[in-house]
Amino acid sequence: MLLSVLGKTFRFLGYTVQYGCIAHCAFEYLGGIVVCSGPSMEPTIQNSDIVFSENLSRHFYSIRKGDIVIVKSPNDPKSNICKRVIGLEGDKVCTSNPSDFLKSHSYVPKGHVWLEGDNLRNSTDSRCYGPVPYGLIRGRICLKIWPLNDFGFLRASPNGHRFLDD
């Protein structure tokens, strides 16, 4: 009687460990569901929207200008931030505010990206803490899941003027 209970317990633990490993690999290498909070990506992503992010792009180094990415915060490694890639390494970006008279530009250093939120007025992003190392990128958001009336792929940036083409 006791032996069969022990046997069932061990089998249950075995299945749990197997599913845990598969789930960990899936979240690490494939993608996962993310709940976004904060106003910095409005109107593209509102507060408490649920999105799906995929991690394959970061492993194959195919993040493009204009992608929305999930990044480990440079100042707090335990929290994640969600911003749009405005410039890749070598690109020229505008570091001054739109209200400044004299525009200042700089080049994104090697191995870094320049991030900005879509809600430029209410977003702490690379204009505040500088270019972010590529190694901090965790995934690229490809699909919005919730709210259902806004289901689907994400819109292009409403701030097209921030993308400086050479």
Partner 1 sequence: ILCLRSPRNPEQKIIKRVIALEGDIIKTIGYKKKYVKVPHGHIWVEGDHHGHSFDSNAFGPVSLGLLHARATHILWPPQRWQKLQPMLPPERKPLQREEE
Name the residues that contact partner 1, by CB under 8 A: 61, 72-77, 109-112, 133-136
Q: How far is the CB of 58 from partner 1 (least distance, A)?
A: 9
DSSP string, 3-38: HHHHHHHHHHHHHHHHHHHHHHHIIIIIEEEEEE-S
φ/ψ of residue 120, rounded to 5? -60, -30
Q: How far is the CB of 64 from partner 1 (least distance, A)?
A: 15
Active site residues: 40, 83
Radius of gyration of the chain from its Cα atoms, rounded to whole angstroms: 20
Closer Cβ to partner 1, 77 or 160, answer by number: 77
Closer Cβ to partner 1, 112 or 162, answer by number: 112
Closer Cβ to partner 1, 43 or 135, answer by number: 135
- Nearest Cα to 74, choosing from 114, 133, 139? 133
Closer Cβ to partner 1, 25 or 156, answer by number: 25
Q: How far is the CB of 56 from partner 1 (least distance, A)?
A: 15
Q: How far is the CB of 112 from partner 1 (least distance, A)?
A: 7
Burial label for 107, CB within 10 Å (0-12, 13-18, 19+), is middle
